[in-house]
Amino acid sequence: MYNLDPVTIAIIAANVIMSIKGFDDRVFFEKYKFNVGSITRGEQIRMFSSGFLHVDTTHLLFNMFTLYFFANPVILELGQLNFIIIYIASLVFGNLLSLYFHKDEFWYSAVGASGAVTGILYAAILLQPEMSLYMFFIPIPIPGYIFGIGYLLYSIYGMKKRIGNIGHDAHFGGAVGGYAVTLILMPSLFKTDLGHIGLLAIPIIILFILYKTGKLH
């Protein structure tokens, strides 16, 4: 089990506080969720605030559980400041991609830290591809890159089925954000671990192809 870094604790606390407030206060939730129509009218705060709201407790716990496992490797390798940069960049880039994908759907709404968390997940796996995870009901360790690919494939399912009021499209943008920013911050990875860089790029490319061919919706 990890000892959580203060930065991770602060991010989890912000998500919990904002989400609980949103559970109990529908006006608050509606004011700060991602909504294409509202954003195009100038409410840019939603691009950031929506990343700290969640549909329900299960959605919140899943994202925070994932962040818990993957935050420390990024902080240990790159430091607190770069961790924050990756988290915020992934959150914003995920929402920018959602805005682009749904620019003509003014009613489209979504919430969740999934974009930011997926960015951290991809960053951690790039930095420590040898990591292994033990998941529920699976008695053998799962390589981190397998978990990362599986997490992103789940986003494809979510996008196709439009499951809940969740920013599944932001998973794609978040992964790209975390992937790109990590490689910018540590370009030496191209020399030391080109194989995993290529492997983790595959689901991103698949998602892009599915979108361009109209098979996501």
Tell me the mean pLDDT in the region 48-69.
Answer: 92
pLDDT at residue 13, as a whole number:
97
What percent of the chain stands above pLDDT 90? 51
Residue 4 class from Cβ within 10 Å (0-12 exposed, 13-18 middle, 19+ buried)?
Answer: middle
Is residue 1 one of the residues assigned to a domain?
Answer: no
Query: Is residue 196 over pLDDT 90?
Result: no
Over the stretch 119-178, which tens digit does the pLDDT of each residue have? 998 899 899 887 877 665 566 788 877 877 877 777 777 777 766 556 667 888 898 899
Query: Is residue 1 over pLDDT 60?
Result: no
pTM of the model: 0.86
Is residue 34 one of the residues assigned to a domain?
Answer: yes
Is residue 32 one of the residues assigned to a domain?
Answer: yes
pLDDT at residue 102, as a whole number:
86
Is residue 19 one of the residues assigned to a domain?
Answer: yes
Rounded to an integer, what distance in angstroms lies between the CA atom of residue 143 and that of residue 145? 6
State the total domains in the chain: 1
Is residue 217 one of the residues assigned to a domain?
Answer: no
pLDDT at residue 134, as a whole number:
66
pLDDT at residue 54, as a whole number:
94
Is residue 114 one of the residues assigned to a domain?
Answer: yes
Is residue 121 one of the residues assigned to a domain?
Answer: yes
Q: Of 28, 9, 6, nearest to 19 (Cα)?
A: 28
Is residue 170 one of the residues assigned to a domain?
Answer: yes
Is-contact 34 92, C-beta < 8 A? no
Residue 169 tokens, joined: 């499209």
Residue 176: which domain range?
6-212
Q: What is the CATH number of the domain that holds 65?
A: 1.20.1540.10
Is-contact 39 47, C-beta < 8 A? yes
Over the stretch 13-26, which tens digit does the pLDDT of each residue have? 999 999 999 999 99
